[in-house]
Amino acid sequence: MTALAARDLSAFVARDAEARGRLELLVTGARCGACLAKIEKAAREAPGVEAARFNLTTGKLAVTLAPRAGDAAVVVEALDAAGYPATPFDPAQAIESEDREGRGLALALGVAGFGAGNVMMFTVPVWAGLFGQELDGTTREVMYWFAAAIATPCALFAGMPFFRSAWSSLRRRKANMDVPISIGVILTLIVSFSETFQKGEHAYFDAAVTLLFLLLIGRYLDHKLRVRARSAARDLLALQVPSATRLDSDGVERTVPIRDVEVGDRLVVVPGDRIPVDAVVEDGSSDLDNALISGETAAALASPGTRTHAGALNLSGRLILRAAARSEDSAVAAIARLMEAGAQSRSAYVRLADKAAALYVPIVHTLALLTFAGVWAVGLGPREALLRAAAVLIITCPCALGLAVPAVQIVASGRLFRRGVLVKSGAALERLAEITHVVFDKTGVLTEGRPRLIAAPASVIAMAAPLARASRHPLARSLADAAGRGEVATDIVEVAGMGVEGMIDGRKARLGRAGFVGVDSTAASETELWFGFEGDTKMRFAFEDALRADTRSAVAALHDLGLSVEVVSGDVAGPVAAAATQAGIHRWTAGVTPFDKVAIVERLQASGRKVLMVGDGLNDAAALAKAHASMAPGSAVDASQNAADLVFSGGLSAVPEAIRVARRARKRVVENFGFSALYNLVAAPAAIFGLVNPFVAALAMSGSSLVVILNAMRMNLGERR
């Protein structure tokens, strides 16, 4: 990160009419109030900064820059120096992230809550009157008019989210769950007004508002779940490279959005950064890590003239590239198109709640209509008929049904969130519960995706460590990790693609490829390092991409869940076979292209299996989008994280855990549906035969919702046990 000084991040600053700048940064590493203080202090002390406010919950820092002053790059540097890496947000995305819908729902919920609470003041006395207490007709009428005055405006306001959704659904000639809700609420209000006018005792003003209050709780929970997942996905995107460093003809390096890179532009890629577009190396040499594109673990050498692919990670040397394609024409784009096709096929999935609604809506409306016709035919008159039809609609109104799914899913995803698993949508949980077969990628999923030193004597490690600490190459890094903290060699010269040279205790030493160190190795491998003092014996260090610590137990847990498991990797046969055997997986396929991966997933699904794909590379992205459900580790490329339903951090044991939670959530949802059906089976006949009065309706509605919520909470009980 030494090349930052010349970065130009002005594309990320939005200036207003007075040229006052606004910059949004995603800051990582903040955990407590002390971090918050340090971050705001560091940002505010940067030149040209007027104000800075950090949101500890979302990790976003909003910076206001003085008119015509301030530099985004300087702010980022100041934060980096304080120990908090910061990434600028696209200003357009920052505006989009405002949660207007959530605030609207919260206000509707508040109004409904107010209405439901206060309308009771007038309806509870009426309920008392229903059970023979003293309450004459005039008093009851006064009470109902008070109730109407509160309930009507509250219900109309709080019902807007439902009315809007029902209307747009009807315009598409479909009936979602909001249609019976809207009809129920509006009809309830109309019937209640007509009853009050005629001095009757069956007015349901309280029911209309309470119903909306309970439903809005479910709606709000569902919305929170979606917002959290969406913003997390956006943060991940911002953290990956949406920008490239362009070397302009005036010799200045500018950070530009990746979509602005034109063919022929000269780009600078420093070690540790990814190559933004397909390009040809013009100057410099380095090792490239292609693991995310092809799945290969071995690094490839890049020198002038080498064609490089977008997404490759530059490991050791500074490269100057000439862009050979625009971002959307790069190798990545073909995979992106495949992903789109996969995602479309998946969007055809019908969610549980919609299945229930498709069943529920026609039944309830037919029932209400039959009640109306039947009661009138029996000779009880149109008024009683309308009253009973309305009672059927009110009492069967899908309160519990509306809460059944979101209540369970918010508890389940909250539980997974604490385990480091991010669930992108409720539908993802439903699909995950249906899985029968798991396909793993190897590199970065079963394995850690970075080399680890195979046992070497501590004294030898200590000898080479001072040089290793001075290098950025992943193999050297891993050697340095094995050695721990200590002294660093002096007079360091890093030769890109070869190795590093320096002085240790006055002796010249080299660490790197066999040829660089002076060994004639015929079997030179990409996963070894050589070390030696000048004119002394040379020592060899071998590395391997080790399995994650919990891979074996996670695979065993998946077998216990009754799932079949296989490995599909782009790497060569040797390492794939070794990793699969170590992990306890018998079926594996090696040397697979991204397109083959999709084909394999398609073939499995065609044979009737529901496939969970777990992958991290660009070569997995299309298969992730195609599979019935998919998971990606937090270290995956942005494309894969976007394609995946769930993103997990930490070990692989998150996979069986997520499946277990998803299955349990599905069980709870089905139980909730069963309970709702049972409730309606009792309540609907009661309404048809006129046994329901306003008190019974209020009790039944809130009671059934409470049962559903309590059942959802049981998800958490298992965790504590």
Partner 1 sequence: MNIFLLLAPFSLLLGLTGLVAFWWTLRARQYEDPQGDAARILDDHLREGPDDEAEQP
What are the residues binding partner 1 (CB under 8 A)?
Answer: 32-33, 36-37, 40, 44, 50-58, 64, 103, 106-107, 110-111, 114, 117-118, 121-122, 139, 146, 150
Closest to partner 1 by CB, 36 vs 333, is 36
DSSP, collapsed to helix, strand or coil, labels residue 283 as: strand
How far apart, in whole angstroms, are the C-alpha atoms of residue 291 and residue 315?
12
Give the helix/strand (H/E) hosting 126: helix 100-130
Which of 316-332 are b and which e, b meaning 16 or more Cβ less than 10 Å from the residue's Cβ?
Answer: bbbbebebbbbbeebbb
Instruction: Give the whole-angstrom CA distance, residue 461 versus residue 246.
Output: 40
Query: Measured from the CB of residue 149, what is the shortest distance to partner 1 in angstroms?
Result: 9
Residue with tokens 């039959």: 370
Cα 238 → chain centroid: 13
Q: 353, 322 in Cβ contact below 8 A?
A: no
Instruction: Quickly tell me which residue has 């000048």 as its tokens.
Output: 534
In the complex with partner 1, which residue's Cβ is closer, 110 or 362? 110
Taking the complex as a whole, the smallest distance from the CB of residue 99 to partner 1 amounts, in Å, to 8
What are the tokens at 461? 């490690």
The residue (of 31 and 485) whose beta carbon lies closer to partner 1 is: 31
Q: What is the DSSP string of 175-212?
A: --THHHHHHHHHHHHHHHHHHHHTT-S---HHHHHHHH
441 is catalytic: yes
User: Nearer Cβ to partner 1, position 118 or 553?
Assistant: 118
Closer residue to partner 1 (CB): 158 or 557 = 158
Residue-by-residue DSSP string for 365-411: HHHHHHHHHHHHHHTSHHHHHHHHHHHHHHHTSSHHHHHHHHHHHHH
At its nearest, how many Å lie between partner 1 and the CB of residue 102? 9
Q: How far is the CB of 142 from partner 1 (least distance, A)?
A: 9
Nearest-angstrom CA–CA distance, 298 and 522: 17
Lookup: tokens for 579: 């990793």
In whole angstroms, the minimum distance from the beta carbon of 56 to partner 1 comes to 3
Q: Write down the catalytic residue from 90, 441, 638, 645.
A: 441
Cβ–Cβ under 8 Å, residues 338 and 270: no
Distance of closest approach, residue 627 Cβ to partner 1, in angstroms: 35
Compute the least distance from the CB of residue 515 to partner 1, in Å. 54
Residue among 13 and 364 whose Cβ is closer to partner 1:
13
* AA identity, residue 478: S
Q: Which DSSP string do the residues of 79-106 spell out, in sequence order?
A: HHHTT--EEEPPHHHHHHT--HHHHHHH
Question: CA distances (Å), 337 to each of 150, 223, 359, 371, 643, in order?
Answer: 54, 29, 36, 53, 12
Which of 44/351 has CB closer to partner 1? 44
Catalytic residues: 441
